[in-house]
Amino acid sequence: MSGSSVGAMVVGTVFIMVFGMATVSLIDNVNQSIKNSDYELPDPKVDIISFTDSVQSPGPVNSVSVFSGGTGYSTGGGCTTTTTGDGTGLVVSVTDDSNAVDSITVEQIGSGYEIGDQFTIAGCGNADAVGTVVSLHEQIVITIKNMGSENVLISDIWIILSETSSKSMGIPFSFDSHYSGGNNYFFPGEQFTTDPFPLDNTAHGFSVTGNPNRAFLSIYDHNSFADVNS
């Protein structure tokens, strides 16, 4: 067989192989397109069962009073506190009368406090003034239920709050950012409730004194809403 004939056969063989591979690839892509067009995205049915905005104890501090004025204080802020209870994070400002605390204003609300808890103003003065928790801020609690037949990843469930009279809309936040139940998946028929949480401008788009009256739930193509129960 001549050299030119061998060369022609090799070229022909390579051409057929490449063409065959391209044909297989094209058919596979067409079949994949058909699969994609026939595939239905899941439609989980997760509903908001309740949405409350009320005082929950323990909780963040709203107002305080002076129990004993202590010594060595001057008017100013940024005073940290300590308590024998479970509360943490309360920071206050004070005014003084003859170096004793005359009034206390809450700067940072903290968490985990009960009405009647006493705290020492330890970050200012001689750390011997004592205050009392008088009232707590309201906190949000949201309960949801899986009404459908799909398992849902809890981290895929998002909530947004709104206040209808002022047409104010909050910032979306994930349900699991306030849920400590330890479950990753939400199975059909299950009902989960958030831990009580105070509103926060950065996290929710409303301040702790805000009054949203509606909650929306969003997951994939499914939406739900509920009005607030005070």
In a domain, 38, yes or no: no
Domain count, the chain: 2
Q: What is the mean pLDDT of residues 96-104?
A: 95
**Where does the pLDDT of residue 220 fall: very low under 50, low under 70, confident under 90, or very high at 90 and above?**
low
Residues 101 and 215 in one domain: no
Residues 92 and 155 in one domain: no
155: left (phi over 0), alpha (psi -120 to 50) or beta: alpha
Residues 149 and 84 in one domain: no
Domain that holds residue 144: 46-56+138-227
* Three-state DSSP state, 20: helix
Give the end of a domain, one of 136, 166, 190.
136
Amino acid 93: pLDDT: 96
Residues 83 and 179 in one domain: no
In a domain, 39, yes or no: no
In a domain, 194, yes or no: yes
In a domain, 1, yes or no: no
Residue 43 structure tokens: 């439609």
Asked if the model's pLDDT at residue 111 lies above 60, the reply is yes
Give the end of a domain, one of 113, 136, 159.
136
Residue 101, phi then psi, degrees to nearest 5: -65, 125
**Where does the pLDDT of residue 222 fall: very low under 50, low under 70, confident under 90, or very high at 90 and above?**
low
Amino acid 195: pLDDT: 95
Residues 70 and 166 in one domain: no
Give this prediction's pTM. Answer: 0.71
In a domain, 101, yes or no: yes
CA distance 116 to 196: 20
Residues 120 and 172 in one domain: no
Please tell me which residue, 227 or 35, carries the higher pLDDT value.
Answer: 227
Amino acid 67: pLDDT: 96
CA distance 195 to 179: 6
Give the CA dihedral 101, 105, 106, 107, nearest 10 degrees.
Answer: -100
Residue 179 structure tokens: 């849920």
Residues 143 and 217 in one domain: yes
Asked if the model's pLDDT at residue 217 lies above 80, the reply is yes
Q: What percent of the chain has pLDDT over 70?
A: 76
Spatial CA neighbour of 129 closest among 91, 90, 102, 107: 102
Residues 110 and 131 in one domain: yes
Residues 122 and 168 in one domain: no
Residue 7 structure tokens: 């060369």
CATH code, domain with 214: 2.60.40
